[in-house]
Amino acid sequence: MNVSPILAAQATYPFVRIEQAKRNAAAAGVEIFDFGQGDPREPTDPLIRQALVDALPQTRGYPKAEGLPELRQAIAGWLERRFGVAIDPATEIVPTLGSKEAIFSFAQVVVDPAEGKDTVLVTEPGYPVPERGALFAGARVVHVPLHEENGFLPDLDAIDPDTLSRTAILWLNYPNNPTAAVAPLALYEHAARLAAEHDFLLASDEAYTELWFHEPPPSALQVADRSNVVVFNTLSKRSSMTGYRSGFVAGPGWVMDALRAYRPTVGTAPQEFVQWASVVAWNDEEHVARARDVYRRKREVLLGALDELGWRVAGSEATMYLWVEVPAGASSEECAERLLEHGIVVAPGAYLGPSGEGYVRFALVPTVEDCERAAAILRGLA
């Protein structure tokens, strides 16, 4: 008896090599500046923390999969203010335990091989969770590459008609992790048209829509016909609430009905005190603007140092990431290893998908002060 082969294949997840190199560097006395993983370390706003504490006495029993009406109302209000879309809080929104679990399990809810819908399209390089979820659901995964010459947008016209007819889900993630590229609404319009034509769902992972530095990025919910569009968003990055686990799915009523039927078995309804804190978070934009300012400062510090070093920054219009071309002659893993010798941890692009080779990803999670110290080290490499 073995563990699942999908799980066994994951044991070789390449980040363990960087983790080991990081431990070696730390043991050798090198100070570590960890730009490796995208877990924000900014404090959660006191208003949100207080709302959590205030809600504790009200909590009793299992939370319901449909979520509190007050939270669905707050999310609908935010979607209306932010994207100008009218989403019905009663039928078109389901609160989730962060967005990762919902992204992971989505293939289980809609993939239907018996009906010929056995395929999930994922972009690469990318966040690994949609692919892993699809594999655990027994789906066929097809990679859609993101190349710089196409602005790190997928070439949807290059996907063959047979694959499109077998597709149950097309995953997009903009602003994108790891390239930090932003998609125009036209990409969502194109993808939503294909989804309607070939009877699949466009699943749009919008975890980073609020971490922008120029124009606020669009949502796939803004397309003219959103009958085949499902959006996943989260408070994790917007409100530095990774530890709270609070997000939502918004989409057509029949998909939300399916989620409400599926989710009680998995037990992924967010705790009600977290839902009350989330109401406060979705209703406030000031803390989000402050968080953006902090990321903007970190970004400028790093961009200045990389520029002096002569390293080219690609994509990188939004999110907490910088996607940086590695100097000629080195692989992304070698570049990451070299930076680690100086205590700077980054993610090698190749670990995030084959099209990520040639780049490394900096997650702007250390404090502004630590970014400044890391920038000084980077300048010293020139």
Ligand X SMILES: Cc1ncc(COP(=O)(O)O)c(C=O)c1O
Task: Determine, following the binding rule CB under 6 A, whether residue 247 of this chain makes contact with ligand X.
Answer: yes
Q: Shortest gap between Cβ of 242 and ligand X (angstroms)?
A: 5
- First-to-final CA distance of the chain: 54
Task: Determine, following the binding rule CB under 6 A, whether residue 320 of this chain makes contact with ligand X.
Answer: no
Cβ proximity to ligand X: between 166 and 238 the closer is 238
Binding mask 15-54 for ligand X (x = CB under 6 A): -----------------------x----------------
Interface residue with ligand X among 33, 35, 106, 127 (CB under 6 A) is 127
Task: Determine, following the binding rule CB under 6 A, whether residue 242 of this chain makes contact with ligand X.
Answer: yes
Interface residue with ligand X among 207, 291, 346, 374 (CB under 6 A) is 207
Which range, of 60-68, 98-106, 216-224, 290-298, touches ligand X by CB under 6 A?
A: 98-106
Interface residue with ligand X among 63, 92, 95, 99 (CB under 6 A) is 99
Task: Determine, following the binding rule CB under 6 A, whether residue 209 of this chain makes contact with ligand X.
Answer: no
Q: Shortest gap between Cβ of 129 and ligand X (angstroms)?
A: 7
Residue 123 sits at the vertex; the CA angle it makes with 121 and 124, to the nearest 5 degrees, is 130
Which range, of 53-61, 95-103, 159-167, 284-292, touches ligand X by CB under 6 A?
A: 95-103
- Cα dist. 259→12, 101, 117 in Å? 32, 12, 18
Task: Determine, following the binding rule CB under 6 A, whether residue 205 of this chain makes contact with ligand X.
Answer: yes
Cβ proximity to ligand X: between 36 and 247 the closer is 247
Which range, of 50-58, 92-100, 309-317, 343-351, touches ligand X by CB under 6 A?
A: 92-100
Task: Determine, following the binding rule CB under 6 A, whether residue 98 of this chain makes contact with ligand X.
Answer: yes
Task: Determine, following the binding rule CB under 6 A, whether residue 316 of this chain makes contact with ligand X.
Answer: no
Q: Shortest gap between Cβ of 234 and ligand X (angstroms)?
A: 3
Task: Determine, following the binding rule CB under 6 A, whether residue 131 of this chain makes contact with ligand X.
Answer: no
Task: Determine, following the binding rule CB under 6 A, whether residue 271 of this chain makes contact with ligand X.
Answer: no
| 33-34 vs 344-345, strand pairing mode | parallel
Interface residue with ligand X among 105, 236, 268, 271 (CB under 6 A) is 236
Task: Tell which residue, 147, 148, 173, 177, has the closest CA to residue 362.
Answer: 177
Taking the C-alpha atoms of residue 302 and residue 146, their distance in angstroms, rounded to an integer, is: 24
Residue 204, token pair as written in the block: 């749009």
Q: Which residue shows structure tokens 């959103």?
A: 226
- Cα dist. 300→203, 297, 319, 352 in Å? 32, 5, 13, 25
Strand partners, 117: 112
Cβ proximity to ligand X: between 236 and 271 the closer is 236
Q: Shortest gap between Cβ of 35 and ligand X (angstroms)?
A: 14
Cβ proximity to ligand X: between 119 and 268 the closer is 268
Cβ proximity to ligand X: between 191 and 305 the closer is 191
347 φ, ψ to 5°? -95, 125
Interface residue with ligand X among 173, 179, 275, 278 (CB under 6 A) is 173
Interface residue with ligand X among 234, 239, 268, 271 (CB under 6 A) is 234
- Cα dist. 123→128, 130, 201, 272, 355 in Å? 10, 9, 15, 34, 10
Cβ proximity to ligand X: between 164 and 201 the closer is 201
Size of the site for ligand X (CB under 6 A): 14
Binding residues for ligand X, per CB under 6 A? Answer: 38, 98-100, 103, 127, 173, 177, 205, 207, 234, 236, 242, 247
